[in-house]
Structure 1
């Protein structure tokens, strides 16, 4: 069976001003003759700049040390290529850095300080990703006994207090298995996801995020 696409398509998760702007910028880029992948990166980068829903870009979702780090993933359908960065520090352009990984390396993912060093080598600017908003998130979290967090089977009880933590005994672990301090809402399970389809029906997809709030810090 053959499918015929009569128009270009850009689909993005979520609503709101930032997400709509990201979708529109990606579509306008595609409509102006730019490549499918380039248009995808333009859309994701828009959300990074606008800090969509505080789940994308700098100044959101601090880890448990208070630092914001960024992740981005790009998938090129017809080329069977993918590239990603994770735990990117001090560089705001996660999607564009992932794009550089795809275009200038044979890697599929670069992580942490190595990702930052790569970004600087590619000419990206080093900047502080912390903002007054992310500092306020951390202050509220600490005053709320570091709830929620990603610890389990440790002492002191992670559902009631901040660390530092140490492993709990086997008996204590059994007692704590029934406990959960996870809060499930729109800020704990999603970010921007974007799909771009060109005139030929070829598909690219990608995502950008500042990750889970109060996650473990990775060195």
Structure 2
């Protein structure tokens, strides 16, 4: 249901002639507010028992981007990333200073407890007891990609990271070119999975450049990047959309919650056999 609502939010904007950036922000915000997903409220906890959030947004026209990492009090991380993209002098802000930027920009601030659910506390306790930093159940990231009537593409990614993360760990999600990328010459891309491997593969940028320079199709490029990440020992998934409206997704995990909205309607899937690509 949460996925369908996010799809609808983005699709309504696009159907009214709105921008791809507006659409991906709206979709991502719906998922950040839905506590079922590991972004915004309901995110996983760090080893210290707090929530630290990462997010990035990028538009493909002039490759503007905004990204934040390790924020603790900004209710809407993706909206902060967009504010930075459009009105800030920098691309990437981190930690308490990023929250201060958000506060000065009038973006709602909350106590860190707002983000925390009892279920996530239990998962943290289990992870610490097991002596494992990575969440053995699944990776959690939310992402959105869109193309508008003008052929502009945009991507947005938001996450709470991995359970029991420490030392200020930041994954691929807010890193432009790793977990998030958009270029009108190729594609908009958002990633989820074992972030360290997606960083090393520069996954989102690699996908776009396989198209722009390598001449691959969208699906070929996406599959090639997942193969590259698999060869390094990582796993995860990617969603991508091209300026011509073509869309693609793929994943090397057992499942990836995903959905797509276009002129043919809405489709949602979880497992690979659900694919209607």
Asked if Structure 1 and Structure 2 have the same fold, meaning a TM-score greater than 0.5 normalized by the shorter chain, the answer is yes
Conserved 8 A contact 2:71-2:98? yes
Specify which structure has the bigger relative contact order, considering alpha-carbon pairs within 8 angstroms and separated by 6 or more residues.
Answer: 1
Given candidates 45, 56, 65, the residue that maps to 2:39 is: 56
Larger-Rg structure: 1
- 1:205 CA displacement: 0.9
Given candidates 80, 88, 108, the residue that maps to 1:105 is: 88
The answer as to 2:67 corresponding to 1:117 is no
What stretches of structure 2 of length at least 5 have no aligned partner? Answer: 170-277
- Matches of 1:133 and 1:112, distance apart in 2: 18
For 2:25, the equivalent position in structure 1 comes to 41
What stretches of structure 1 of length at least 5 have no aligned partner? Answer: 1-16, 151-181
- Mean CA deviation greater in 71-80 or 112-121: 71-80
The answer as to 2:54 corresponding to 1:71 is yes
More strand by percentage: 2
Report the secondary structure of 2:157's partner residue.
strand
- 1:80 CA displacement: 1.2
- 1:104 CA displacement: 1.0
After TM superposition, which residue ranges in structure 1, 4 or more long, deviate above 6 angstroms? Answer: none
TM-score w.r.t. length of structure 1: 0.69
Report the secondary structure of 1:19's partner residue.
helix
- Name the count of aligned residue pairs: 169
For 2:234, the equivalent position in structure 1 comes to none
- Matches of 1:23 and 1:127, distance apart in 2: 26
- Matches of 2:106 and 2:117, distance apart in 1: 26
- 1:201 CA displacement: 2.2
- 1:144 CA displacement: 6.2
For 1:162, the equivalent position in structure 2 comes to none
For 1:160, the equivalent position in structure 2 comes to none
Report the secondary structure of 1:208's partner residue.
strand
Task: Compute the RMSD of aligned alpha carbons.
Answer: 2.3
**In 2 relative to 1, CA 93–132 (structure 1 residues): closer, same or farther, beyond 3 Å?**
closer
- Matches of 1:95 and 1:191, distance apart in 2: 12
**In 2 relative to 1, CA 136–80 (structure 1 residues): closer, same or farther, beyond 3 Å?**
closer
- Matches of 1:131 and 1:120, distance apart in 2: 16
The answer as to 2:208 corresponding to 1:208 is no
